[in-house]
Chain A
Amino acid sequence: MDKPDHKSTTCTMLSIENLHVSINGTQVLKGTSLQINQGETVILFGPNGSGKTTLLYTIMGIGNYEVTEGRILFDGTDITHMPPNERAQLGIGMSMQRPPSIHGLKTRDLVRLCAGKREIDIDELARKVNLEHFLERDVNLGFSGGEIKRSELLQLMAQHPKLVLFDEPESGVDVENMALVGSMARKLLEGELAPDRTHTMLDIKQERKTSGLIITHTGHILDYITADRGHVLYNGHLCCADNPKRILDHLQKYGYKECIRCLT
């Protein structure tokens, strides 16, 4: 049973404190701090190599990254050195940019594993992302860019996380697929409720429990989801908290060179 929701808008879901991360001795994140509240969606911009994926992987606990300083709290628990499966069980989910394919493991079986002990209707979920004909295929094997993203969404829907990390949800997705990927990402973050007689938009916003952290290059995902805040990650430093659409607008006009001025 869920507790009454009066504190939902103020509760901190993810808190990253002064995070320093290295890979093979090279420092990638140099003191990053970020806080995401329950129900809040944050967009992360940044040029290639700025450390965006490093940040997501470090939150998830995968890859060859070493946290040399700082810590990550999720829902009040220090997860800095926790194995990824335990983080997943606490409620962190991730959509990878280029996930591996797994020979012989059927998509249906993986989706079932994602759900853990929760009962789900796999076929029904798959229909929502047009993947009902992919359930008997090996995970990601021979999938197109759009199919991979839809498969990631399907797994996340089965997993039902409290915090979703999206690593470039629009990369490799064609225009036709983008609408589906975008609207399913929205549903995952915002729930499926629409305003009605008993629910106002404000109610729905306050009931939102799923938080999101989204890496985007193009900003196309912003056409589909409501993001609360945007940041730019530049050279391992987080800067520029603002309305994500405004950040995108600036980046399109001036590029990332302005970030250098901002950070120096």
Chain B
Amino acid sequence: MKKPDLSHYEFSGHSAGKVEDLKRLGKAEKESMRMAGFDAEEKGTSASFVQIDHDNAFCKSYNPGVEILPLGLAMHMHEGLADYRWRLLKPEKDEYTRMAADNPHGGYVIRVKKGVRLDQPIQSCLMMHTNNVGQNVHNIVIIEEGAEAHILSGCTTTEADQSAAHIGISEFYVEKNASLTFTMVHNWGEKVDVRPRSAGQVEAGGIFQSNYISLKPVRNLQMYPSITMKGASSISRFNSVIVATEGTYMDVGNRVILDAPDTRTEIISHAIASGGHIVARGHIQANHAPSKGHLECQGLLLNKGIIQAIPELDGRAEGAELSHEAAVGKIAREELDYLMIRGLSEEEASSAIIRGFLDIDIMGLPNELQAEIQQAISETEKSML
């Protein structure tokens, strides 16, 4: 694993202060937020949160069923929150969790109250605005019993050529019969180093669906979030679509622990290394039966890209059914031929195959975000051919 050098980033001194009205943000800010899936117009939003550099800039809930607060304020207001912070992750896990624990810059706390079913998403944007800034955030998400929510979490730099480091700690609590869809869109640049550290637990009957999209370059990103299916009959699904262009190194994957009977998980990733380097990991551990887990990695190599798929199945209970499927290669000749006999040129055929490969229909995104991502995919796909 390649390690980033974080010594030249500034992890203090960049407090931007509050933004009263998101509409008045600069064009570059709004544009980069949009690319990260955040709508500054806040159309159809249950709540919004924006962090810029070392400070919370905006935080507002439009639904009484959603409590959203910057971490510091939340810790101050809710004594009980201390039980949730650093419960699933430990500060001593590695140097990045250590940094986030020693020098916290905030982050969001989202609580969706018991039984509340949101039909509009909660959106957040973690932005790095100043050149050479280093950001440590800690996010806590609690979906209470029977509640249902979709959180869109966008991470971005303001400018694509900006240098920045992002360390993001996230802890997810999906309570009994609750459902969380967590969509993370990364919109980084060639001089950005990223170390998310995430963990979650899902209680009985709960559903955790994670979508991860990263189409832009990033210098060095490594993450391996771990979700524990703690309660019986809980379900999780992970879909990721990632592209690594030249200069990009991504070491990403999902780890799921089936820690109760009748739990299920499915991890599916589609990765394109177009000149970049991807390490695609996956780990399913089954401690109870019956349980079911499927791990799938589809990798496409273009322009001398590298993909290392490292799947791991760890069955510890008789009756657990675990499977994995991985394929890494170039665009299949027979697929190209098939489209070419319908009249498409080789380039048109490749482009249709790549677009299909990066299909995000399964993620169930809001229409506008879906269209936004499709647009980004079309642009990315052109740059790969």
> Footprint of B on A, CB under 8 Å?
60-63, 83-85, 87-89, 92-94, 96, 99-100, 102-105, 109-110, 113-114, 116, 138, 155, 159
Contacts and interface: CB of A to CB of B under 8 A. Distances in A.
A62 B337 contact: yes
Given A102-B338, A104-B361, A159 B355 contact: no
8 contacts: A84-B340, A85-B344, A88-B342, A96-B341, A104-B355, A104-B357, A113-B339, A113-B348
A138 B359 CA distance: 10
Interface residues of B, number: 25
B376 to A, nearest CB: 15
B341 A102 contact: no
Contact of B341 (A60, A104, A109): A60
B298 interface: yes
Interface of A (DSSP majority class) = mixed
A100 B349 CA distance: 13
B346 interface: yes
Top 3 closest A-B pairs, CB basis?
Answer: A104-B359, A104-B356, A105-B356
Nearest to A165: B341
B345 interface: yes
Interface of B: 270, 298, 332, 334-335, 337-346, 348-349, 352-353, 355-359, 361
Given A113-B344, A113-B352, A159-B342, A103 B337 contact: no
Given A63-B337, A93-B341, A159-B342, A100 B332 contact: yes
Contact of A100 (B334, B344, B346, B361): B334
Contacts of B361: 104
Contacts of A83: 340, 345-346
Contacts of A110: 339, 342, 352
A138 B343 contact: no
Given A85-B343, A104-B355, A104-B361, 14 more contacts: A61-B341, A84-B341, A85-B342, A85-B344, A85-B349, A87-B341, A100-B335, A102-B339, A102-B352, A104-B358, A110-B342, A113-B343, A138-B359, A155-B342
A93 B335 CA distance: 16
Contacts of A62: 337, 340-341
Interface centre among B337, B349, B357, B358 (most CB of A within 10 A): B337
A113 B230 CA distance: 47
A89 B343 contact: yes
